[in-house]
Structure 1
Amino acid sequence: MNGYFFSFEGPEGAGKTTMIGKLESFLRGRGFDVMVTREPGGVRIAEAIRALILNREYTEMDGRTEALLYAAARRQHLLEKIVPALEAGRVVLCDRFVDSSLAYQGFARGLGVEEVWKINEFAIDGYMPSLTVYFDIDPHIGLERIRQNREREVNRLDLEALSFHDKVREGYRELAKRFADRIVVIDASRPLDDVFSETATAVLSRLEGRSKRDFHESGRDDSHWT
């Protein structure tokens, strides 16, 4: 398996989708076979779960239910779309992956990062990105971007209290410290061109410099989050 697996993370309104779109065009221009996908979603079953999770009417959803649904969607998405792409040698750009569950449900919901990791460890069967780009932004700024962008969907998580989004950011920052070898932190409050330049540099460096001894070459990682 010779594909490359990259994930992109950040609080609401961090600009992940915009950056991924620009990065896709940039990499295609350099001759890479690129596949862009998202979580939750990407395939039929996972998209159905996404509609359930993010439905603004289901405000009573329990945190554990939420975490389990995300893991289920992730499993189906991985099996149907990500793994086949990696086996075909493609570059996979995924909008969110396991780190989202660890930050949102594990940290912000207070379920425990280790507990949420165990759920996802079963779901992903050792597959992890070789590089994760985390777009860091103050939740005040991110949520204001959402309010100003009428084309972006406003989902159930967008409606959470600001304190929740502050905890999400805190969770991501903690993960970035624990996985400094995998997670690159980029200040997403800067001008778009500056953010993209740093993002493209980080991804291209990993694409051009991946060594044969890197366990991510096969797309699998059997290590634990701790």
Structure 2
Amino acid sequence: MAQLTLPVGKQEIHDGNSWFSLATENWVQNTIRMVSPCLVATTANLTAIYANGTAGVGATLTNSGTQAALVIDGVTLVVGNRVLVKDQATALQNGIYTVTNIGSVSTNWILTRTTDYDSVAQTVRGDTVSVISGTLSTASLWMLTSIVTTVGTDSFTFAKTDQNSFTSILGTTNQIAVSVTAGVATISIASNPVLPGTASVTIPTGTTVQRPVTPTTGMFRFNTSL
């Protein structure tokens, strides 16, 4: 059977307007790195003691505060859950961990660096990791922006690149009411609204023939024909 041999160069496709180069599967897999997602991400420094294991392998964060079951960003965790730790006061402690001991009122919780993100070869600047749930970080995406040459010495710095939900939104009493459900905000005028400030309010203006075709009780306008 004859084989088709392509000359050296790049394959292209035209979309009707311009030419675009095609990326190979190998290029995509080796250039765009997505780390396995985490269930939650920290929102503040964890009160814990850090042990670096063997050059980062087996590194742990062990609770050194009040003993209790581990809860992060409103989610009660279980053993095996992946956690993006990004807010440690000592940034070398940041990274991706799994819960190895959930903790209780009499035992300390323990987080251990994940086996797929505990060495220099695995921690590449530009890596992105998604976070699945949490009050503040649900459906968010984070990028490693620091260069890690030594785990346990260099900082792990993560920056948010995207989030498919609202993190916070406020209404104003007696002016605007806001409700948020599953990341979707509904904005409405509050009952018995109060207009703030000392300026004026402009109301709709028009002639008699420009009155609304279907008037309803309570409509208010300025008639320039009268």
TM-score of the two chains, using structure 2 as the length reference:
0.24
Answer 1 or 2: which has greater helix percent: 1
Higher RCO (CA 8 Å, separation ≥ 6 residues):
1
Which of 1 and 2 has greater Rg? 2
